Amino acid sequence: MPGFKRSEVEPTVLFKPWSPVLLNLTEYLGRRIRLEFTTNDCTFTQHFGYVYLDVTENCSHPVTGNVICPGVAPITLKTLPGFNEYEWFDVETKKLLGMADSLVLPASTPVGRQIAVKLVPYPGLGCIQTLYTTIQGPKVNVNQPPPECVFVDITASSITAGNLPDLKYSYWMDAAVTIPLTNPKNITKSGSYYIKGQNSPGCFAIGEVKVIIVSPPPISITDPEPVNYPETIDITTSYIPEAGLKYSYWKDLKVTVPLPNPKAVNRNATFYIKVTNIAGCVTVAPVKAYIIYPGIVIPNAFTPNGDGVNDVLTVLIDNSIKIKAFKIINKWGDVVFTSTDIYNYWDGSWNGKALPVGVYYWFVDGVDTSQRKVRQSGSVAVLK
């Protein structure tokens, strides 16, 4: 078999370097493939053949070293080792340039020159293939970051993805790279910034990165006019909507508890409107709903079955009344719920366990603005 050599360490040993086979698998992207290899053993049980697989990310050009610093230093093109023969040549002139697995080009080699290398395998171990590469000057590809609300980190690997791996980056305020950027990980102002990529020979290129910091979306709230119970308030009419913004409605300032029906609010409270723009920036604004109640209003039934409808016992009360105690009692006289917060709605449970259907009794004890006692009671049916 061709390609064997005599060992310089032990003359009785013949060996053969790796015999590479180049496979372009780009048409199989996303698919699972199986490769089978047959080894040509020299002598049964005395020697064995084996294979290594090397997967390169640069599928289209498995030739390295093609970036030159014009007039500064020569470059060395390298391709896959282990083929029987190599032929490097200029694509335009067809001039033969070298016959090893690497090729040194002078510093005067112009950018844009195309070089090809013909890979000739050992007989019976593959087909002749020709690889092409173009001599390039140093460059920095910049993937522009999306608009952000607070800051942009231009040192993120996603911004310089696709560049040659030997580049070292620095960050600058100006295109002439005279003013360093002090905190490239936390840019809070929109504008153009610059990334300088420098390779090991000292050549560099500059890429522009455009940072867009989006302002929080605006919203101006006008509290709705008070209404008399049983009228409700539509808090979605408390602002003028703008195109491209998304509005949502919440019970709390941290916007963790959604307001189920913002078009029909039936109790006095401060609610919150969350505005989100296309970049994900958020503004939260309060809106006050005021309903005038004739004293205390409590429904005579509710259904705590977890379906999201009428699951709690809502208590509607005139703002002039301050609650000292609100109690729920079962038919045996046990206090199953008590609170001084009238908006701490009862969910039909006692000590964490759901109570059976039936009639329960409520008692309210409070005072009005004149410190006169306000006491009221009634019954409520728990249904399922």
Report the DSSP beta bridge partners of residue 283: 275
pTM score of the predicted model: 0.49
Task: Quote the pLDDT of residue 142.
Answer: 93
Q: Compute the residue count for the chain.
A: 384
Q: Is the peptide bond before 230 cis (omega within 30 degrees of 0)?
A: yes
Map tokens 């002139």 to a residue: 93
The rounded percent of the chain whose pLDDT value lies above 70 is 92
Least confident segment among 140-149, 337-346, 365-374: 365-374
How far apart CA 203 and CA 69 sit, in angstroms, is 5
Task: Quote the pLDDT of residue 224.
Answer: 93
Taking only the tens place, the pLDDT of each residue in 265-290 is: 988 889 999 999 988 899 999 999 98
* Mean pLDDT computed over every residue of the chain: 87
Task: Quote the pLDDT of residue 1.
Answer: 62
Task: Quote the pLDDT of residue 25.
Answer: 78
Say if residues 94 and 102 touch (Cβ distance below 8 Å).
no
Q: Is 348 left (phi over 0), alpha (psi -120 to 50) or beta?
A: left
Q: Which of 71, 76, 113 is nearest to 98 (CA)?
A: 76
Does position 51 have pLDDT exceeding 90, yes or no?
Answer: no
Residue 293: CB atoms within 10 A of its CB come to: 19
Mean pLDDT of 334-357: 91
How far apart CA 104 and CA 99 sit, in angstroms, is 11
Give the burial class of 63: count Cβ atoms within 10 A of its Cβ; 0-12 exposed, 13-18 middle, 19 or more buried: buried
Q: Which of 82, 122, 115, 116 is nearest to 101 (CA)?
A: 82
Domains of the chain (ranges, CATH numbers): 75-134 (no CATH), 138-210 (no CATH), 227-292 (no CATH), 296-382 (2.60.40)
Map tokens 């993805």 to a residue: 161
Instruction: State the pLDDT confidence band at 50, using cuts at 50, 70 and 90.
Output: low
